[in-house]
């Protein structure tokens, strides 16, 4: 443990993957950096934990796609142990006994969709091309410091011009698509392309992840694009598993950071950020840990969300009212839960019995658009969905190191689990009932599931808040809705990773370009800190 009088260039609040990326880039530029993490392990929502003896769970996030290629390159993550394994396809069982099974093999997917609708099989190719064009437009924005559209500063105007020119360069069809993506619901957008209900339902699921919106809510079409933007080893929109679980991604980043000289401490919760009153709204000069230790630095970079950073860690009086109003307006509205199971065997789907490649990809309980919308209807009035949308993976079929031989892990991402329950309900008493609803829903398609569960962990939005420090349990440190993206994330006028307090920066998923295992906020914030040279 360093002596309490140690002085650093930058202290990073939180050892999630963005905090670690931030620290690594700063240290590689020669800064003396300390990362302080509250939990016993690193990674935040990208963590692997042995929840039951012998079973290592990606407790929160479970698949990867969005991690920026420049970060993998700059930090040489494969040399530090990062290995991404393929996740092939999405299998959607249907109550009728049929299924929809899309894989990465174009010909097979075309034939499978044609089995449901020939028109959709043709449209699927066109849709893929259109989405690729949309992604080409949006992708450079992910690596860009958001412009401040309210200033006449030529540098900011150039950024707006860059976006305007790119938009102008698109075909008129792509322009219309882009505007529709920004404004429509995922279901309405997909209705324009396809007729097969189960296809639209499964595809629309990407539009609601991490939001408190339904597939028919305007704005969800854009979220769909956010999840389309990934790539694995150059393969467009591919998703994969990290060998060792998503914690292995964070550990590879931590390893790169340590190699660059970063000091990392776990079980080091920060109670307060120290602000000195020698600048307009004060200047950050260090942190106070929960045990009272004070550690000083020229700058503090917070990877926790703005509610925690500005209302819990900063004493009142340092921040302007309009900024604080923005922080209070920022929406979290957690809507997701996770059910992790240790299994004694594999689920046996009625519609495709036995072991097979369909178990090696994602399995999606999203049989119809109406099913998805009804799941949201319950959540709107403060109830978890009795028949939720579930996205399941069995990582042990790809990475045997995660469980004892012959045993498996079933990781279920579930929506909706609203943070705010109806009066009279609370998550501590609803937790296991919610877990039962998830198991019962899966059992409608794979009845043997109940016989093979050895252990079950139910993670509610309240658990995400208590244990992972995610306000209101939002998995992305704040909803990925259009009104809080790009130059509006997290607060209008404060999207460039700075805050009204001098030398206090933000570097987590609550900043541009938002949530997911991307690392982009951590990297962009580091570049801005270095640009200021203050640290």
Ligand X SMILES: Cc1cc2nc3c(=O)[nH]c(=O)nc-3n(C[C@H](O)[C@H](O)[C@H](O)COP(=O)(O)OP(=O)(O)OC[C@H]3O[C@@H](n4cnc5c(N)ncnc54)[C@H](O)[C@@H]3O)c2cc1C
Structure token digits, residue 331 = 């929406």
Listed residue (458, 345, 441, 448) closest to 93, CA to CA: 441
Structure token digits, residue 378 = 């319950």
If the CB atoms of residues 384 and 413 are measured against ligand X, the closer one turns out to be 413
CB of 161 to ligand X, least distance (A): 30
If one counts every other C-beta atom within 10 angstroms of the C-beta of residue 235, the result is 13
Distance CA 237, CA 227 (A): 8
If the CB atoms of residues 338 and 502 are measured against ligand X, the closer one turns out to be 338
Q: Do residues 500 and 508 lie in contact, with contact meaning Cβ atoms separated by under 8 Å?
A: no
CB of 12 to ligand X, least distance (A): 9
CB of 63 to ligand X, least distance (A): 4
Binding site for ligand X (CB under 6 A): 13-19, 36-39, 44-46, 60-64, 66, 269-270, 303-304, 308, 336, 338, 413, 464, 468-470, 475-477, 508-509, 515-517
Side-chain half-sphere of 148: how many Cα atoms within 13 Å? 14
CB of 167 to ligand X, least distance (A): 27
CB of 411 to ligand X, least distance (A): 9
Structure token digits, residue 156 = 């900011």
Backbone angles phi, psi at 524, to 5 degrees: -60, -40
CB of 509 to ligand X, least distance (A): 4
If the CB atoms of residues 177 and 220 are measured against ligand X, the closer one turns out to be 220
- Judged by DSSP in three states, 28 sits in helix
Is residue 52 left, alpha or beta, with left meaning phi > 0 and alpha meaning psi from -120 to 50? beta
If the CB atoms of residues 45 and 385 are measured against ligand X, the closer one turns out to be 45
If the CB atoms of residues 57 and 487 are measured against ligand X, the closer one turns out to be 57
If the CB atoms of residues 193 and 468 are measured against ligand X, the closer one turns out to be 468
Cα dihedral 154, 157, 162, 167, rounded to 10, equals -160
Distance CA 530, CA 359 (A): 46
Structure token digits, residue 369 = 């658009």
Backbone angles phi, psi at 111, to 5 degrees: -65, -40
CB of 160 to ligand X, least distance (A): 26
Distance CA 59, CA 55 (A): 11
CB of 291 to ligand X, least distance (A): 12
CB of 4 to ligand X, least distance (A): 16
Q: Do residues 336 and 470 lie in contact, with contact meaning Cβ atoms separated by under 8 Å?
A: no
Beta strand 504-506 with 362-365: parallel, antiparallel or unpaired? unpaired
If the CB atoms of residues 177 and 457 are measured against ligand X, the closer one turns out to be 457
CB of 47 to ligand X, least distance (A): 7
Output Rg (C-alpha) for the chain, integer angstroms: 23
- Cis status, amide bond into 152, omega within 30 of 0: no
If the CB atoms of residues 38 and 102 are measured against ligand X, the closer one turns out to be 38
Listed residue (287, 282, 278, 285) closest to 320, CA to CA: 282
CB of 340 to ligand X, least distance (A): 10
If the CB atoms of residues 338 and 407 are measured against ligand X, the closer one turns out to be 338
What DSSP line would sit under 126-189, residue for residue? HHHHHHHHHHHHHHHHHTSPPP-TT---HHHHHHHHHHHHHHHTS-HHHHHHHHHHHHS-HHHH
Distance CA 408, CA 392 (A): 13
If the CB atoms of residues 227 and 318 are measured against ligand X, the closer one turns out to be 227
If the CB atoms of residues 45 and 364 are measured against ligand X, the closer one turns out to be 45
């Amino acid at each position: 443990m360093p002596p309490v009088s140690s002085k650093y260039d930058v202290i990073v609040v939180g050892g999630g993957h963005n905090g670690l990326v931030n620290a690594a880039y700063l240290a590689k530029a020669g800064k003396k950096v300390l990362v302080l993490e509250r939990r016993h392990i690193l990674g935040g929502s990208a963590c692997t934990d042995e929840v039951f003896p012998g079973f290592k769970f990606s407790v929160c996030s479970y698949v990867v796609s969005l991690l920026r290629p420049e970060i993998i390159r700059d930090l040489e993550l494969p040399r530090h142990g990062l290995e991404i394994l393929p996740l092939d396809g999405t299998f959607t069982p249907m109550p009728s006994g049929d299924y929809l099974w899309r894989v990465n093999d174009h010909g097979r997917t075309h034939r499978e969709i044609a089995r449901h609708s020939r028109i959709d099989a043709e449209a699927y190719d066109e849709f893929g091309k259109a989405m690729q064009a949309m992604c080409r437009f949006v992708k450079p924005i992910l690596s860009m410091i958001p412009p401040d559209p309210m200033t006449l500063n030529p540098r900011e105007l150039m950024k707006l011009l860059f976006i305007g020119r790119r938009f102008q360069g698109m075909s008129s069809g792509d322009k219309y698509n882009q505007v529709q993506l920004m404004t429509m619901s995922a279901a309405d957008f997909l209705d324009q392309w396809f007729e097969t209900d189960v296809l639209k339902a499964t595809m629309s699921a990407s539009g609601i992840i991490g939001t408190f919106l339904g597939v028919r809510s305007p704005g969800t079409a854009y979220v769909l694009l956010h999840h389309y933007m990934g790539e694995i080893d150059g393969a467009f929109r591919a998703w994969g598993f990290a060998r060792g679980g998503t914690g292995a991604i964070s550990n590879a980043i931590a390893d790169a950071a340590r190699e660059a000289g970063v000091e990392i401490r776990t079980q080091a919760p920060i109670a307060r950020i120290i602000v000195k009153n020698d600048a307009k709204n004060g200047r950050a000069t260090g942190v106070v840990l929960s045990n009272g230790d004070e550690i000083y630095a020229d700058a503090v970079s917070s990877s926790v969300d703005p509610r925690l950073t500005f209302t819990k860690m900063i004493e009142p009086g340092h921040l302007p009212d309009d900024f604080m109003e923005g922080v209070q307006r920022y929406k979290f509205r957690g809507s997701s839960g996770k059910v992790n199971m240790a299994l004694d065997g594999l689920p046996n789907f009625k519609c495709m019995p036995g072991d097979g490649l369909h178990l090696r990809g994602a399995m999606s309980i999203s049989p119809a658009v109406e099913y998805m919308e009804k799941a949201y209807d319950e959540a709107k009035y403060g109830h978890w969905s009795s028949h939720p949308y579930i996205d399941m993976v069995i990582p042990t079929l790809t990475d045997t190191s995660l469980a004892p031989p012959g045993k498996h892990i079933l990781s279920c991402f579930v929506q909706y689990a609203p943070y705010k329950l109806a009066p009279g309900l609370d998550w501590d008493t609803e937790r296991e009932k919610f877990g039962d609803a998830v198991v019962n829903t899966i059992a409608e398609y794979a009845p043997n599931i109940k016989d093979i569960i050895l252990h079950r962990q139910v993670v509610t939005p309240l658990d995400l808040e208590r244990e992972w420090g995610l306000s209101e349990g939002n998995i992305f440190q704040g909803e990925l809705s259009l009104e809080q993206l790009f130059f509006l994330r997290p607060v209008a006028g404060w999207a460039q990773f700075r805050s009204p307090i001098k030398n206090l920066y933000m570097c987590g998923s609550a900043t541009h370009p938002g949530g997911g295992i991307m690392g982009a906020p951590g990297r962009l914030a580091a570049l801005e800190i270095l640009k200021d040279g203050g640290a």
